[in-house]
Amino acid sequence: MAKVIERKPLTLAERTYLPQVVSGLKTTFLQIFKKSVTLEYPEQRPPIPPGYRGVPTLVKDPDGREKCVSCQLCEFVCPPKAIRIQPGEIENEDYAHVEKAPREFDIDMLRCIYCGLCQEVCPEEAIFLQEIYTLSGYGRAEMVNNKEKLYELGGTLPDKHFKWEKKRLAAEHGRAH
């Protein structure tokens, strides 16, 4: 047994929709006098929130040397398998004591989910998530960042490990004895 509820008849003002039109105009006029919140992108950019995880990049030490030793931990831990590394040797004889360097290092930005696991697992602090959030390209191939592009985006950061000096000094010390 359904219960029928009677509707009260609309007033003349309600039938002409005047209250709704006036309410909409009131909202419009109030917005005219408020400060604009529109940003002229890309000249003006919104502030980046703390803890933002952006584009993964490779960084060099202050002397311009590669920090990555091709341990491939970032490649193994990457959930979508966006990172691909081909290990290589270091050409300079003076630094042959340092493990190795990547011959190729690619990150497919179409697959990357910006989780930050690559940065957390890196023992040499060679991969960092930068505060870059505007990546674009005309094709899929442009969205795969190779080693040169990753270093260009990453730049140089201080080295807390000093792997080049420590291992060189240890090797020289070992030869002296």
Q: What are the DSSP calls for the chain, one per residue?
A: -PPP-PPPPPPHHHHTTHHHHHHHHHHHHHHHTSPP----TTTS-PPPPTT---EEEE-B-TTS-B------HHHHH-TT--EEEEEE----GGGTTS--EEEEEEEETTT-----HHHHH-TT--EEEES------SSTGGGEE-HHHHHHHH-B---SS-HHHHHHHHHHHHHH-
Q: In the prediction, which pLDDT does 169 show?
A: 61
Percent of the chain topping pLDDT 70: 85
Q: What is the pLDDT of residue 101?
A: 84
pLDDT of 176 over the 60 cut: no
Spell out the domains of the chain, with CATH numbers in brackets: 55-172 (3.30.70.3270)
Per-residue pLDDT of 7-59, as tens digits, reads 999 888 888 888 889 999 999 999 888 888 888 888 888 888 888 888 999 99
For the entire predicted model, the pTM comes to: 0.67
Instruction: Indicate if the pLDDT at residue 135 is higher than 90.
Output: no
177/31: higher pLDDT:
31
For the chain, the average pLDDT equals: 85
